[in-house]
Amino acid sequence: MNRIAALLLFIAHLAGCQTAPAEQEADAASSYRREDVTGSNIGRRVVRKAPTDEELQEARETLEGMRDDQTRRNLPRPK
């Protein structure tokens, strides 16, 4: 019984190894576009400009408002 099962598994394995025919038209399709090779797997980051003084002041005021609101509601302050 084990020999038959092993033979069936071997035949199924060989049947699964058959490759599909290569399609030459897939590479020439207009929707296919290859990216330039960078030689790195590190993702690219968008370089942001430094925040201005006005943006920093606005962020501080927003943070203070959120803290005051949490204090008013007796919520624990973040650490």
Report the alpha-carbon angle 36-44-31, nearest 5.
Answer: 40
Q: Please give the Cα distance from 73 to 68 (Å, whole number).
A: 9
- What per-residue confidence (pLDDT) applies to 12? 75
- 16-61 residue pLDDT tens: 666 666 666 555 555 656 666 666 666 667 778 899 999 999 999 9
Of 78, 50, 48, give the one whose Cα is nearest residue 66: 78
